[in-house]
């Protein structure tokens, strides 16, 4: 019974998720004690007269969408390359610029123009990510360094594309993507997260992405000698990250109905990497658990919303956030884990040797 229980836990991989789950639970508990009103979900009527859900929890799952989506892609890149892409925000700005330029260029927004713009956006993001991927897998440059290039000039490229500071597009279709679809009270970005999650789950189901990515991340040389093409696997991970970045940039654009190259998805790379780490994934690559990263994204957002609800000035939030992050990562620190394990072991050894010593004498 006990053994089976353990196996079930192992198979579900809950072990890795214990710390993020605990963190999330503690955050919820904290809010429950502080102000049960935090959990209130209200139904508002928006400008066009449709019901829309509101409240802190809704705001958490809504505003975490871009982060959750990018964190999924970041997990793959981290696993395959053992490094992180710090250009996701900048590439997001570029693909958003292409998205909005295409939409504006085609005049009125219809379903068809939207599809064209979305495809253009995805193609752009994937192309730029492939540039990163090429540097990483062909030129063997550390991911963080390779993506530093686009990190430092990506937003300038975005500005160059848009040509003006903040191009705008107004259309009910755009609002439907960024806010809510009339008649459905749940914010659309939440569905986008589910959609991206399902797409990735499907890819994992029908291909060997997980096994290949982990093998390459753990031991590239050995993976190659088993017929895996490391370059292709790394490119694939960057390609999928590109897809995630494109979707996130579309959400971010549609939320505001405009693209501001300086602020769109700004600093999201840091939060995304943080989400990956909080989810219990090693930033050194190898084994990964995507659900952990998604959980990490919601924890980060939940933390922000909690701090805001506590009345902390939004510009000061970073300091408080830092403290909580430090506590979470310290709890997951290998040293602290080992200390606990050693304590347990010592107990079992002393029992064992006591029995033995008794027998010998």
Partner 1 sequence: MENIRDEAPRLFYDTTEGAARMQNDVVLTMRGISKLFPGTRALDNVDFTLRRGEIHALMGENGAGKSTLIKVLTGVYGKDAGSIHIEGIEGEAPIHSPQDAQNAGISTVYQEITLCPNLTVAENMFIGRTDGAIVNWKDCEKKATAILESLNIPARAKQELSSCSLAVQQMVAIGRAVDMNCKVLVLDEPTSSLDEQEVSMLFKLMRDLKSRGVGIVFVTHFLEQVYEVSDRITVLRNGKLVGEYPVAELPQLELVAKMMGKDLNDLEGLEKADRHTSAATETVYEAEGLSSTARRPFDFRIRRGEVNGFTGLLGSGRSESVRAIFGADRITGGKVRVRGKAVKITNPHEAMKHGIGYLPEDRKRDGIIADLSVRDNIILALQVMRGFFRPMKRSEMEAFADEYIKELNIKTASQNTPVGSLSGGNQQKVILARWLLTHPDYLILDEPTRGIDVGTKLEIQRLVLKLAEENMSVTFISSEIEEMLRTCSRLIVMRDGNTVGELTGDELTQAHVMETIAGGGVQHG
Partner 2 sequence: MTTVQPALNHRRREPLSDATLLMLIAIGIFLVMYASAVILMGGAFQKPQQFLDLFNENAALIIIACALTVVMIGGGINISVGGIIGLTCMACTKFLEYSAPQNSVVAVLLTVLLALAIGLAFGLFEGFMVSYLEIQPFIVTLAGMFLARGLTTILSVNPVKVTHEGFQALVKTKLQIPWLGYVAKNGNLISAKLEIGAIVALLVVAAVWLMLRYTKLGRGIYAVGGNRQSALMLGINVKRTSFWSYVISGVLAGLAGLVFLMHKPAANASIAMRSEMDAIAASIIGGTLLTGGVGNVIGTLFGVMILAAIQKIIGLSPLNESWWQDMASGAMLGIFIMLQSVILSRRGKRGKAEASKG
Q: Which residues bind partner 2 (CB under 8 A)?
A: 84, 86, 135, 139-142, 144-146, 148-157, 159-160, 270, 273-274, 277, 282-284, 313, 315-323, 325-326, 329-330, 332-336
Q: For residues 333 and 353, which CB has a smaller minimum distance to partner 2 in the complex?
A: 333
Beta bridge pairs of residue 53:
43
Q: How far apart are CA 266 and CA 262, in angstroms?
A: 7
Look-up of token digits 């990735």: 200
* Residue 81 binds to partner 1 (criterion: CB under 8 A): no
Structure tokens at 195: 């959609």
From partner 1, partner 2, none, interface partner of 315 (C-beta below 5 to 8 A by class): partner 2
Whether 261 and 162 have beta carbons less than 8 Å apart is answered as: yes
Q: Which is nearer to partner 1, 70 or 223 (CB)?
A: 223
Taking the complex as a whole, how short is the minimal distance between the CB of residue 337 and partner 1, in angstroms? 11
Tokens encoding 280: 């219990």
Residues 6 or more apart in contact with residue 187 via CB below 8 angstroms: 52, 53, 58, 61, 62, 65, 179, 180
Q: Which of 355, 266, 332, 348 is nearest to 22 (CA)?
A: 332
- Residue 335 interacts with which of partner 2, partner 1, none, CB < 5 to 8 Å by class: partner 2
Cα separation, 300 vs 298, in Å, equals 5
Could you tell me if 81 and 237 are in contact, meaning their C-beta atoms sit under 8 angstroms apart?
yes
Rule CB under 8 A: is residue 79 a binding residue for partner 1?
no
- Report the site for partner 1 in 166-225 (rule: CB under 8 A): 205-208, 211-212, 214-215, 218-219, 221-225
Nearer to partner 2, 57 or 266 (CB): 266
User: Of these, 197, 287, 312, 331, which contacts partner 1 (CB under 8 A)?
Assistant: 287
Tokens 């579309």 correspond to what residue?
250
**62 vs 147, which CB is nearer to partner 2?**
147
- Name the residues that contact partner 1, by CB under 8 A: 10, 205-208, 211-212, 214-215, 218-219, 221-229, 286-287, 341, 345-346, 348-350, 353, 356
């Amino acid at each position: 019974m006990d053994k089976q229980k353990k196996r079930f836990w192992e198979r579900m991989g809950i072990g890795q998720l214990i710390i993020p789950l605990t963190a999330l639970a503690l955050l919820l508990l904290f809010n429950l004690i502080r102000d049960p009103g935090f959990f209130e979900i209200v139904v508002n009527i928006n400008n066009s007269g449709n019901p829309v859900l509101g409240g802190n929890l809704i705001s958490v799952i809504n505003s975490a969408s871009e982060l959750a989506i990018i964190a999924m892609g970041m997990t793959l890149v981290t696993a395959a390359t053992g490094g992180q892409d710090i250009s996701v925000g900048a590439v997001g700005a570029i693909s958003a610029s292409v998205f909005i330029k295409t939409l504006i260029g085609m005049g009125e927004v219809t379903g068809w123009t939207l599809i064209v713009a979305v495809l253009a956006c995805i193609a752009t993001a994937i192309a730029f990510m492939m540039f990163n991927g090429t540097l990483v897998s062909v030129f063997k440059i550390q991911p963080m360094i390779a993506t530093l290039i686009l990190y430092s000039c990506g937003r300038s490229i975005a500005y160059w594309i848009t040509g003006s500071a903040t191009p705008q597009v107004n259309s009910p279709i755009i609002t439907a993507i960024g806010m809510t679809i009339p008649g459905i009270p749940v914010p659309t970005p939440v569905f986008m997260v589910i959609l991206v999650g399902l797409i990735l789950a499907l890819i994992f189901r029908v291909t060997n992405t997980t096994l290949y990515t982990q093998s390459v991340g753990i031991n590239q040389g050995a993976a190659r000698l088993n017929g895996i093409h490391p370059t292709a696997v790394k490119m694939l991970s960057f390609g999928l990250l590109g897809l995630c970045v494109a979707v996130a940039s579309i959400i971010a654009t549609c939320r505001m109905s405009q693209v501001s190259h300086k602020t769109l998805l700004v600093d999201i790379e840091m939060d995304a990497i943080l989400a990956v780490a909080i989810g219990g994934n090693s930033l050194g690559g190898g084994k990964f658990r995507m659900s952990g990263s998604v959980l990490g994204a919601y924890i980060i957002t939940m933390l922000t919303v909690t701090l805001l609800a506590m009345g902390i000035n939004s510009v000061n939030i970073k300091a408080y956030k830092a403290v909580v992050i430090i506590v979470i990562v310290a709890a997951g620190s290998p040293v602290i884990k080992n200390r606990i394990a050693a304590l347990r072991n010592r107990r079992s050894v002393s029992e064992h040797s006591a029995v033995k010593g008794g027998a010998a004498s």
